[in-house]
């Protein structure tokens, strides 16, 4: 099978990186600090690429790559160069005298492996292209490489005639400059599967229920959420004319909006949608003059809103608590001998506790 264009581009990128390694010993600094979150998938790729350059590498765990954080760690680790990532972008920093200069900012275009490989390769290319000091202490102009990884295509070009723009550390009395914020990774994962116990409540009490749902990422911030909630055991209602049992079930289809990235420790979510409330009613007994009626199925559309809080327990496993409030289009009435004995659906609420498996 012929390799795809994207795979050829990745191979070409890594080949270009390999050709820079011999020159890196003369051009790149000998000591480099690698900074980033411990759970970011791009950090091992950066570690591997920097190690291939035979540099003395020091590592530290950070959550953000602000100038203050990088400056403090560069000073504490005693290095002049740092590669810092927050998972969404990579910055290559160099100390020049009293200034800390941002030499390159590489944006991770998407969450897939190919985008991580290309971004890590580009960052190390920028590191290897840092200027070497000559005998007079002056810097030689670096070579510049550009990797374009946007959509299904990926290309490598270089060298370019101009160097990447630098960002200088402001004076102590001047306000600190803020580096441009790169686009973040999608907040809505590709797929989340969840299931767990719940409490379903309506006008005539509450019942133990089982809740299951799937969150399917449709865009950067929105996920489609099909879900199901059912009461496993029949509810029994009694009246002077007899008794009956019923079991409510909800089939829902809505949306969810996560307010933080899935890599965050706590991710709040809000959502809403529409569904169908189905209730199977089965008469149990009848006392004269009432007569036993036939079982029946009651249906009503519902509208609902949700609020959830998801807490990370492991890389791909979370636990979430969710509250739902809704209302059906009409009251679902259980009748015994033509007399109302129980009501369900107006209003409608539930509390669910689910385990979630997150697929990035």
- CATH number, domain of 336, equals 2.40.160.20
Tell me if 162 is assigned to some domain. Answer: no
Tell me if 142 is assigned to some domain. Answer: yes
Residues 214 and 327 in one domain: yes
Tell me if 270 is assigned to some domain. Answer: yes
Query: Which has more confidence, 38 or 234?
Result: 234
pLDDT at 11: 54
pLDDT at 356: 94
User: For the segment 255-276, what is each residue's pLDDT rounded down to a tens digit?
Assistant: 999 988 877 899 999 999 999 9
pLDDT at 269: 95
| Total number of domains constituting the chain | 2
Query: Which has more confidence, 320 or 111?
Result: 320
Residues 128 and 199 in one domain: no
Rounded mean pLDDT of 76-91?
A: 88
Query: Which has more confidence, 185 or 239?
Result: 239
pLDDT at 348: 94
What CATH number is associated with residue 106? 3.40.50.10150
Tell me if 172 is assigned to some domain. Answer: no
Query: Which has more confidence, 105 or 289?
Result: 105
pLDDT at 150: 40
Q: Which of 133, 157, 181 is the last residue of a domain?
A: 157
pLDDT at 111: 77
Residues 138 and 252 in one domain: no
pTM metric for this prediction: 0.51
Residues 340 and 231 in one domain: yes
Residues 153 and 216 in one domain: no
Residues 125 and 214 in one domain: no
pLDDT at 21: 44
CB contact set of 187 (below 8 Å; sequence gap of 6+): 220, 221, 258, 259, 260, 261, 262
Residues 231 and 333 in one domain: yes
pLDDT at 2: 47
The rounded distance, in Å, linking the Cα atoms of 65 and 169 is 14
Query: pLDDT at residue 136 above 90?
Result: no
Residues 201 and 341 in one domain: yes
In the block, tokens 């509450």 appear at: 206
Tell me if 242 is assigned to some domain. Answer: yes
Residues 152 and 207 in one domain: no
Query: pLDDT at residue 250 above 60?
Result: yes
Residues 277 and 202 in one domain: yes
Tell me if 323 is assigned to some domain. Answer: yes
Tell me if 182 is assigned to some domain. Answer: no
Query: Which has more confidence, 15 or 226?
Result: 226
Domain holding 10, by residue range, is 5-157
pLDDT at 25: 40
Rounded mean pLDDT of 287-294?
A: 78
With cut-offs at 50, 70 and 90, classify the pLDDT of residue 10. Answer: low
Query: Which has more confidence, 29 or 300?
Result: 300
The rounded distance, in Å, linking the Cα atoms of 293 and 338 is 9
Query: pLDDT at residue 197 above 80?
Result: yes
Q: H or E stretch including 51?
A: helix 42-51
With cut-offs at 50, 70 and 90, classify the pLDDT of residue 211. Answer: very high
Tell me if 185 is assigned to some domain. Answer: no
Three-class HEC string of 132-183: CECCCCCECCCCCCEEEEECCEEEEECCCCCCCCCCCCCCCCCCCCCCCCCC
Query: pLDDT at residue 130 above 80?
Result: no
The rounded distance, in Å, linking the Cα atoms of 132 and 128 is 10
Q: Which of 139, 157, 175 is the last residue of a domain?
A: 157
With cut-offs at 50, 70 and 90, classify the pLDDT of residue 321. Answer: very high
pLDDT at 113: 82
The rounded distance, in Å, linking the Cα atoms of 352 and 20 is 55
Rounded mean pLDDT of 336-350?
A: 88
Residues 17 and 73 in one domain: yes
Query: pLDDT at residue 353 above 50?
Result: yes
Query: Which has more confidence, 76 or 149?
Result: 76
The closest of 10, 70, 80, 72 to 45, measured between CA atoms, is 10
With cut-offs at 50, 70 and 90, classify the pLDDT of residue 199. Answer: very high
- Per DSSP, the three-state class of 191 is strand
pLDDT at 139: 45
With cut-offs at 50, 70 and 90, classify the pLDDT of residue 12. Answer: low
Q: Which of 103, 133, 157 is the last residue of a domain?
A: 157
The average confidence (pLDDT) of the chain is 78
pLDDT at 3: 47
Residues 270 and 323 in one domain: yes
């Amino acid at each position: 099978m012929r390799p795809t264009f994207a795979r050829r581009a990745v191979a070409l990128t890594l080949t270009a990186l390999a050709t820079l390694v011999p020159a890196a010993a003369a051009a790149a600094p000998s000591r480099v600090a690698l900074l980033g979150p411990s759970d970011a998938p791009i950090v091992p790729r950066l570690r591997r690429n920097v190690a291939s350059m035979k540099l003395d590498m020091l590592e530290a765990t950070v959550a953000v790559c602000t100038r203050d954080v990088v400056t403090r760690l560069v000073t504490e680790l005693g290095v002049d160069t740092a590669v810092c990532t927050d998972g969404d972008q990579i910055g290559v920093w160099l100390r020049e005298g009293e200034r800390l200069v941002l030499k390159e900012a590489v944006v991770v275009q998407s969450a897939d492996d190919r985008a991580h490989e290309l971004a890590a390769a580009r960052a190390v290319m920028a590191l290897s292209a840092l200027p070497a000091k000559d005998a007079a202490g002056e810097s030689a102009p670096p070579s510049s490489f550009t990797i374009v990884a946007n959509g299904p295509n990926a290309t490598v070009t270089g060298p370019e005639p101009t160097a990447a723009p630098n960002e200088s550390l402001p004076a102590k009395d001047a306000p600190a400059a803020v580096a441009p914020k790169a686009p973040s990774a999608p907040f809505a994962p590709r797929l989340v599967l969840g299931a767990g116990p719940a409490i379903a409540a309506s006008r005539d009490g509450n019942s133990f229920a089982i809740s299951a749902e799937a969150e399917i990422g449709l865009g950067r911030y929105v996920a489609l959420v099909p879900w199901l909630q059912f009461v496993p055991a029949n509810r029994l209602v009694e009246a002077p004319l007899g008794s009956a049992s019923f079991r409510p079930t909800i089939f829902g289809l809505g949306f969810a909006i996560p307010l933080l990235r899935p890599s965050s420790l706590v991710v709040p979510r809000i959502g809403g949608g529409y569904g169908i409330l189905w209730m199977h009613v089965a008469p149990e007994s009848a006392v004269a003059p009432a007569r036993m009626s036939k079982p029946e199925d009651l249906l009503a559309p519902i509208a609902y809103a949700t609020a959830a809080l998801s807490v990370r327990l492991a890389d791909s496993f979370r636990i979430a608590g969710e509250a739902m409030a809704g209302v059906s289009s009409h009251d679902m009435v259980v009748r015994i001998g033509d007399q109302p004995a129980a009501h369900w659906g107006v209003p409608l609420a539930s509390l669910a506790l689910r385990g979630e498996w997150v697929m990035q």
